[in-house]
Amino acid sequence: MGAQKTVLGIDFGTTNTSAAYVDAKGGIQMVPVTEVDTALPTVIWFAGRDKFVIGSQARERILDDGANTIFGFKRFLGRPFKSEFVSRVRDRFPYKIVEGDDGTAAVEVHGQVRTTKELAFLVIQRMVELAQAHLGRDVDEVVLSVPTHYGYRQRTAIRTAAEMAGLDVRALVNEPTAAALYFSRQHTPPKTALVFDLGGGTFDVTLIQVQGSLVKVLGSGGDAFLGGADFDERMAAYFAQRFERDKGVSLAGQKVVMQRLIFACETAKMLLSAEEDAKVRVMFAAEKDGRPLDLEYPINRDMFEMLVAPLIERSIAPCDELLKRVGKTPQDVDELILVGRQTRTPALRRRLYGVFKGDPNRSLRPELSVPSGAALLGTLLDDIAGPPLIDVVSIPIWVMAPGAPPKEAIKANTAVPSVGRVQLEFAPNMPGMVLLYEALDAGSLERDVLGSVRIDPAFLAANPGPVTLEVTMQQTFTVDVSVRGSGGGREKLSITPPKAKK
């Protein structure tokens, strides 16, 4: 009998990365990072061009070497540098975000440009090394979880990062869907559940149905600009204003001091999940008249909840929108599944359980379900009955031919795998070029171009009149394109990625 094969489930997070596997007895185990923790901080400190540290030691360097310590980069992994998304988040970081050779956001450290794919590769590689040291054998297969709102280019970037580490990526799974799959193995009766996933940098909400061993996604939504980091930053902005009012010194523009304040707020926030009172303290936050000034303020849970109340309400709105879109009400939801460390916040849990069924005071470990579900999926992919879940497309895919309006090929919340078909017509001598892009709607200015396809003029000549473009979203969230003609001809087309910067 051969050695046991292990498919690792990896949750590559904005703040922390974790991994799980299914042991020989069918139990789900987390990969230990230290003797007391299973979370690897998604932080890389570059001590030089070829010297780097990953994890908790790197996180400690954010405060004294922020220019060379890279964190939070999952938010712009695979995104075009010139996109609205990157422009909105890049000023939050003390390190230099630049345009890579492929046109995506990259970072510059020690005079060297490193792509976000390379950064993700380094973290994934480290997680695999930890898993292999723990298991005592090689691991070369993986299931990766991704945010629901990740588009084609983001999914391709994380897949490429894992392949750079020598891994066979068996599947990509939306993070809430992975959590739902883990949940489905704990509950056998049919249920409708809402997966509320609020992590360090992103927020996804997904409605699922659990029917026996099958998990079916009914719809998804969320807020790509909402995460635990926003709670920290809201607290930090408040205390910076108080400090300026009390001491007459502004902290605006002082990235290192503000990052220290954000860390202090994050520590206080975590403490307030279990305690009623905490302190926010930053030693030597500023200097005035030659004297160092400390920033130190008490904060209680009531005050914290008041500060973050608008963010909690922002998380409720996508839940309401999702239920309305799929024709459900809160009363139709049998179970609320909380995912992401930010869901430990008591005020958030009270607000959610004021809308949905359940006990806000029950104990939970929201950081475990996503990697566990990904690992579980890895053991089920070869089941002859087929995949144990039905996932959905998160962002619509559009096609546009020259001189014609855009047409929606695959709608949001369409089950995968799926095929979308649109008819296109080209005037004589017109090049058969078609642009593919992702956008929430036809009029959106925030478009993520997947690339273009070229239909051979000889094919168009042999198939006069309208042709049908077929866009296929595979179970693995890869995209294939082909064209069918009026004469019955069919050709597979290659997607040419957007041109890199010159």
CATH number at residue 436: 2.60.34.10
206 lies in a domain? no
| pLDDT for the residue 2 | 45
Same domain, 33 and 165: yes
Q: Which two tokens stand for residue 95?
A: 């390190």
The answer to whether 71 and 59 are in contact (CB under 8 A) is: yes
What distance in Å separates the CA atoms of residue 447 and residue 436, rounded to the nearest whole number? Answer: 10
The answer to whether 296 and 175 are in contact (CB under 8 A) is: no
Same domain, 242 and 379: no
208 lies in a domain? no
Domain at 248, CATH number: 3.90.640.10
| pLDDT for the residue 4 | 61
355 lies in a domain? no
The answer to whether 33 and 39 are in contact (CB under 8 A) is: yes
Q: Which residues contact 207 (CB under 8 A, 6 or more apart)?
A: 192, 193, 194, 195, 217, 218, 219, 220, 322, 323, 326, 328, 333
What residues does 192 pair with on adjacent strands?
Answer: 209
Q: Which residues contact 103 (CB under 8 A, 6 or more apart)?
A: 80, 81, 82, 498, 499, 500, 501
| pLDDT for the residue 501 | 54
What distance in Å separates the CA atoms of residue 479 and residue 399, rounded to the nearest whole number? Answer: 13
Same domain, 370 and 297: no
Same domain, 85 and 176: yes
321 lies in a domain? no
| pLDDT for the residue 1 | 38
Helix axes 369-380 and 175-184, enclosed angle (nearest 10): 80
Residues of the chain with pLDDT under 50: 1-2, 384, 502
| pLDDT for the residue 146 | 92
What residues does 298 pair with on adjacent strands?
Answer: 279
Same domain, 115 and 33: yes
276 lies in a domain? yes
Residue at a domain's end among 259, 286, 305: 305
146 lies in a domain? yes
Q: Which amino acid is at 38?
A: T
Q: Given CA atoms 236, 242, 247, 251 in this order, what sign does their dihedral have?
A: positive
Same domain, 404 and 380: no
The residue segments making up the domain with residue 166 are 7-187+364-386
What distance in Å separates the CA atoms of residue 432 and residue 468, rounded to the nearest whole number? Answer: 12
Q: How many CB atoms lie within 10 A of CB 182?
A: 25
The answer to whether 211 and 195 are in contact (CB under 8 A) is: no
Same domain, 36 and 173: yes
Same domain, 437 and 471: yes
Same domain, 412 and 381: no
Domain at 377, CATH number: 3.30.420.40
222 lies in a domain? no
343 lies in a domain? no
Q: Which two tokens stand for residue 425?
A: 């017509």
Same domain, 380 and 447: no
What distance in Å separates the CA atoms of residue 219 and residue 215, rounded to the nearest whole number? Answer: 12
Q: Using one digit for the tens of pLDDT, what is the confidence trace for 334-361?
A: 888 899 889 999 999 999 999 997 776 6
Same domain, 382 and 264: no
Q: Pick from 129, 168, 169: which is nearest to 17 by CA?
A: 129
Instruction: Please identify which residue in the block is written with the tokens 């991704």.
Output: 146
- Count up the domains in the chain and report the number: 3
Burial class (CB in 10 A: 0-12, 13-18, 19+), 94: middle
Q: How many CB atoms lie within 10 A of CB 425?
A: 12
Same domain, 369 and 263: no
Instruction: Please identify which residue in the block is written with the tokens 């990953």.
Output: 54
